[in-house]
Amino acid sequence: GNSVTQMEGPVTLSEEAFLTINCTYTATGYPSLFWYVQYPGEGLQLLLKATKADDKGSNKGFEATYRKETTSFHLEKGSVQVSDSAVYFCALSPLGGYNKLIFGAGTRLAVHP
Amino acid sequence: KAGVTQTPRYLIKTRGQQVTLSCSPISGHRSVSWYQQTPGQGLQFLFEYFSETQRNKGNFPGRFSGRQFSNSRSEMNVSTLELGDSALYLCASSGTGGPQEIQYFGPGTRLLVL
């Protein structure tokens, strides 16, 4: 079946540190891949997406590359800020899934000044 | 353009009662999905509606049901509430529900079952 595995958190970093959050998936064919972010007390916001192999999604300094050979979609940012503190979810949308997202468990990021 | 709105934002019920949650999608969006978020199970897909038809359903008991109206607004209903139904319920909308489309999420309804 379809599934997403994320690295467990929490991840604690100092401001301006490099961030990597690992995400791997299991799916049939070529699903679309997404990173969503959830700030305290809010719903989910799309951070970036990729819809085919070798696509790179990017937004607000965050990047992730769709790697079919390693079934991965790791999230990276070169220099984190305190305002990036949130929970990050990796998700896939399976082929024919009709607006169905399968999420990883989420990784909580805390950035300290 | 207004975002996805959900009402109510907070709800407290007791075991055995039923509850109805409402979701208004972004104008022009016809696909609405519902998700349950709990600390133990994470984010889980409940069901998806498009043009008043349920196209996709997650692995939840029949106590969880939904519907969609002709204006694309959607409701979900949970009957005979259990303590384990306490969760944040999120709805999301997109244009047609294709797998490459971005889903836009509402702020959620936080349900507490006592």
Instruction: Assess contact for A109 and A22: CB atoms under 8 A.
Output: no
- Tens-digit pLDDT profile for residues A67-101: 999 999 999 999 999 999 999 999 999 876 677 89
Q: For residue B71, name the pLDDT band (cuts at 50, 70, 90).
A: very high
**Whether A98 and B55 lie within 8 Å, measured CB to CB:** yes
- Tens-digit pLDDT profile for residues A14-71: 999 999 999 999 998 889 999 999 998 888 999 999 999 999 999 999 999 999 999 9
List alpha helices for B1-114, DSSP H. Answer: none
**Whether A99 and B101 lie within 8 Å, measured CB to CB:** yes
| Residues from chain B contacting residue A36 (CB–CB below 8 Å) | 105
- Tens-digit pLDDT profile for residues B1-55: 789 999 999 999 999 999 999 999 999 999 999 999 999 899 999 999 999 999 9
Query: Which residues, other chains included, contact A113 with Cβ-Cβ below 8 Å and sequence gap of 6+?
Result: A14, A15, A82
Q: Which of A43, A97, A100 lies closest to B107 in CB terms?
A: A43
Give B24→chain A minimum CA distance, Å.
Answer: 14
Q: Does B89 touch chain A (CB under 8 A)?
A: no
